[in-house]
Amino acid sequence: MVTKSRFPCIVVGAGMAGCAAALRLRQKGVDVLLVERADEGGAKNLSGGILWGDDWAELIPDWKEEMPVERPVSNKKVGFLGAESAFVVDYHDESMKEDTVGYAVLRAKTDAYLLKKCQEAGVTVVTGVHVEDLYKENGVVRGVVAGGEVTTADVVIVADGANSRLTLSGDLRHGQKKLDEHHYALGVKEVLKLDKAVMEDRFHIGEDGGMAGEYVLGRDDGVMAGGFIYTNEDTLSLGVVVNLATLPQEKGNTLSTHDIMEQFRLHPYVQKLTHGAELVEYGAHLVPEGGYQAFSELSADGALVVGDAAGFCFSNGIVIQGMNYAVRSGVCAADAVVHAVGKNDFSAVTLSHYEKLLHKTGVMGDFERFKNVSKALWNPRMFSKYPDFLSNMFRGILTADGPKKKMRAHLTDAMKASGVSKRELMTDALTAGANL
CA–CA gap between residue 183 and residue 287 (Å, rounded): 9
Beta strand 314-315 pairing with 149-158: unpaired
Q: Are the CB atoms for 21 and 303 separated by under 8 Å?
A: no
Beta strand 211-217 pairing with 75-81: parallel
**pLDDT at residue 400 in the model:** 73
CA–CA gap between residue 191 and residue 212 (Å, rounded): 14
Summarised one tens digit per residue, pLDDT across range 366-408 is 999 999 888 888 999 999 999 999 999 999 999 877 888 999 9
CA–CA gap between residue 425 and residue 385 (Å, rounded): 10
Band of pLDDT at residue 4, cut at 50, 70 and 90:
very low
Instruction: Map residue 320 onto helix, strand or coil.
Output: strand
Q: Calculate ∠ Cα 55-58-62, nearest 5°.
A: 90
What residues pair up with 192 in beta bridges, in sequence order?
Answer: 236, 279
For residues 21-28, average pLDDT:
98
Output b/e per residue, 99-109; b: 16+ Cβ within 10 A: ebbbbbbbbbb
- Average pLDDT taken over every residue of the chain: 93
For residues 14-23, average pLDDT:
98
171 backbone dihedrals φ, ψ, rounded to 5°: 60, 45
Band of pLDDT at residue 5, cut at 50, 70 and 90:
low
Reported pTM: 0.94
CA–CA gap between residue 339 and residue 335 (Å, rounded): 6
State the amino acid at position 256 in one-letter form: S
Q: Are the CB atoms for 351 and 298 separated by under 8 Å?
A: no
Q: Are the CB atoms for 244 and 109 separated by under 8 Å?
A: no
State the amino acid at position 86 in one-letter form: A
Beta strand 124-127 pairing with 32-36: parallel
**pLDDT at residue 319 in the model:** 82
How many Å separate Cα 6 from the centre of its chain?
A: 33
Whether the pLDDT of residue 44 is over 90: the answer is: no
Q: Are the CB atoms for 240 and 260 separated by under 8 Å?
A: yes
CA–CA gap between residue 320 and residue 314 (Å, rounded): 6
Band of pLDDT at residue 204, cut at 50, 70 and 90:
very high
Domains of the chain: residue spans and CATH = 6-70+105-174+296-371 (3.50.50.60), 182-288 (3.30.9.90), 376-435 (no CATH)
Q: Are the CB atoms for 366 and 376 separated by under 8 Å?
A: no
Whether the pLDDT of residue 287 is over 80: the answer is: yes
